Structure 1
Amino acid sequence: MPELAEAREAIVAAGQRLDRFGWVPATAGNISVRLRDGTVAITRSGGHKGFLDADGVIRVGLDGRSLREGDRPSAETGLHCGIYRRFPEAGAVLHGHSVPVTVLSRLAGESIRLEGYELLKAFPGLATHAAAVELPVFDNDQDIGRLQDAVETRWGGAASVLPGYLLRGHGIYVWGADMPQALMRLEAVEFMLRCELEARRLS
């Protein structure tokens, strides 16, 4: 796990990358990294992720509380911390608001089925395109504690959980062991969801 300075660099670079794809418009989205001391570096509330600098990244505990007076983390910090608490191997979390994610999550039921895509291999345990996954979709909720409870209920005692989910009409959460893996998974899911959206349009 990185120290704070290294994590800040990774988060700033990730914000610029997500911005180039149009996945974090205005002040949308948030990005975090688990630090070596067990705390979390996460984007400050209200900033544009394409214009982040080191001051736009703060530290919080696994309870989501800021570790420095005056620092205000994103309202959705609790969802990042919920991932880190549940998955010790998670080292980075990305949350974006792309058009395919927003549209498809509004049309979906409890999940979106992704099947037959080469990029399914971005997920753990899938070595071939001849596979299918159910990407969970949760109803959005401004009460982050209640939303995290709903997510954890769906995870339940499952031995393996797909490292990503959607919030209806809101956005996507994806995580990985480090920032490169989290970015790779997010890009793979975004590509597949864009294909799904285009397929619906053409049909």
Structure 2
Amino acid sequence: MARFWETFNEAVEWFIKMTMTNIYWFILNLPFAFVIFTMIFSPVKIGLLYYLLCFFILVPLLFFPGTTALFAVARDWVLKRETASHATVFFKYFKDNYKKSVISGLIFMFLWLIIVGDVYYLQSVGNAVFSMIFLIFGAGLLVYTIQFISLSVHFEMDVKTLLKNAFYFTFRKPIYSLLIFFITTFLIYVSIAKLWFLLPFFTGSIIAYLSFFIFYRMYLRIKHE
């Protein structure tokens, strides 16, 4: 009976910390989510330049620093480190990594705009072959972005070194990269298409935890080879 209550308390603790951290991340990115929602669902199309301007502002200033803070908290969970209150830890990481995250966010925003812009153009002209090629590049960029963030919260490196090492980690162990890709895309798809309530409460935290967990296992394996 004591073991049951111990397991139950651990489950409740995990539920609370993952939910609360995801809520902080979601609230921080509400402006970004609003722009995405407006772009996809609004019957009034304001214009591509308006959305691009919003992305130029929100991705490096909010989304990337907030996601980096989320991964930093997930790192503490994977390494089983005791932390203070959820809000204190999350916003401390947000503040401490902000400058590097903004620079990184600008770089990755340009990379993603190239991929998304090319896919949009190629699909509009009906070029299915090259569209599929760029979609594959997009899948690789998704894993590369996640590996970059995982590296940035685990090691003290400058942005240039992180970019090189993230490329190495992305392609050094393709099975791990594929696992990160399928888990991330599955959770995003389910959260957007099926279970919207996951977005504000669980999606970000689960992706960050599982992605860093896989990254860390890959890092340990490479280290001992």
State the TM-score, normalizing by the size of structure 1: 0.32
Per chain length, whose mean CA-contact separation is higher, i.e. which structure has more relative contact order (CA < 8 Å, sep 6+)? 2
State the TM-score, normalizing by the size of structure 2: 0.30
- The structure with the greater share of residues assigned to strand is 1
- Structure with greater Cα Rg: 2
- The structure with the greater share of residues assigned to helix is 2
